[in-house]
Amino acid sequence: MIKRILSQPEWRIIDQTTLGDSFHALQSFAMDDTLCSSIGSEGSPPTVRAWVHPKTVVLGIQDSRLPNLSDGVNYLKEQGYEVIVRNSGGLAVVLDDGVLNLSLVLSEKEQKIDIDLGYDAMVYLTEQLLKPYGLTFEQKEISTSYCPGKYDLSIDGKKFAGISQRRLRGGIAVQIYLCVNGSGSERAELIREFYKRAKGEHETKFMYPLVDPDVMASLTELLGKPITVSDLMKDLLLYLKEQDSELLSAQLSISEINQYDYYLKRVVERNKKALER
């Protein structure tokens, strides 16, 4: 079933890895909501979207409820990071030029895709992308990483990726962030300090992670030689071609652009409200 999910007759490819400062992280979440809606109604073929954002910390809804949130956000901004709150689950993650994000956007109209199957498909895809480098990993929670979860991916106890899902209007976006290069521990240290300042001495009902920088690394650090975002993009396209899928490079259609404007406005408004708490 996993191979069937990844062996679509046609994949639309949206590569947004080189847009730089012109592409804001809030636009990414509006993009995936738009694609979920369009693909869920079968107005578009299944889509793989790849994206990179410079120096952005994406907070979860629970993070926005921290008692000293403004102190933590100010710290992140002082370090040169944009700060946003996403409209789905999970906790704080770091995005920068060395972090590749992939979204597999699929329809459930013809066949139900349960939550675990969506996650497992992304785990399998990641296995295929890392095979050429001789890298194998474990899938288990790394509790002292940032944004810990059951579908953390790690090598020798060091997390390099995390997976999430967004479901909307019959569409599913399975999303992964892959720390390709740069320092995993420096990213973790940034989030550890954020929690230290945003929580302060307060007791909270929700248990925020006690982030340990030693349990996070990039693929380049784990391999011991450079891997780039463009390397993994080439590996991704090659793998999909090997599944006999037709690859179409296409941006949003006119009808999707109208939906995108709606979802972007909603995402921006929610983000503003979350950061005002």
pLDDT in tens, 87-104: 777 899 999 999 999 999
Do the Cβ atoms of 176 and 104 come closer than 8 Å? no
| Local confidence band at 157 (pLDDT 50, 70, 90 cut-offs) | very high
Backbone angles phi, psi at 38, to 5 degrees: -70, -45
CA distance 35 to 204: 36
pLDDT(169) > 90: no
- In the prediction, which pLDDT does 3 show? 80
Buried b (16+ CB within 10 A) or exposed e, 219-239: bbbbbeeebebebbbebbbeb
pLDDT(40) > 80: yes
Min mean pLDDT across 53-57, 84-88, 249-253 is at: 84-88
CA distance 46 to 37: 12
pLDDT higher at 110 or 37: 37
- In the prediction, which pLDDT does 67 show? 95
Question: What's the mean pLDDT in 97-116?
Answer: 91
CA distance 172 to 63: 24
Question: What's the mean pLDDT in 142-170?
Answer: 95
pLDDT(185) > 70: yes
Q: Which residue has the tokens 């509006």?
A: 30
Do the Cβ atoms of 160 and 100 come closer than 8 Å? no
| Local confidence band at 143 (pLDDT 50, 70, 90 cut-offs) | very high
- In the prediction, which pLDDT does 231 show? 97
Output the pTM of the full model.
Answer: 0.95
- In the prediction, which pLDDT does 277 show? 65
CA distance 38 to 171: 8
Q: Which residues are catalytic?
A: 147
Do the Cβ atoms of 10 and 78 come closer than 8 Å? no
Question: What's the mean pLDDT in 228-234?
Answer: 97
Identify the three-state secondary structure at position 168: strand
CA distance 67 to 274: 13
pLDDT(276) > 90: no
pLDDT(111) > 80: no
- Fold of the CATH domain 2-275: BirA Bifunctional Protein; domain 2 (3.30.930)
Identify the three-state secondary structure at position 229: helix
Do the Cβ atoms of 15 and 249 come closer than 8 Å? yes
Alpha-carbon dihedral sign for residues 147, 153, 159, 161: negative
H helices of the chain, where? Answer: 2-6, 25-40, 69-78, 115-130, 184-199, 219-223, 229-242, 254-275
pLDDT(2) > 90: no
pLDDT(38) > 80: yes
In sequence order, what are the residues at sequence separation of 6 or more whose Cβ sits closer than 8 angstroms to the Cβ of residue 83? 56, 57, 59, 73, 76, 77, 275
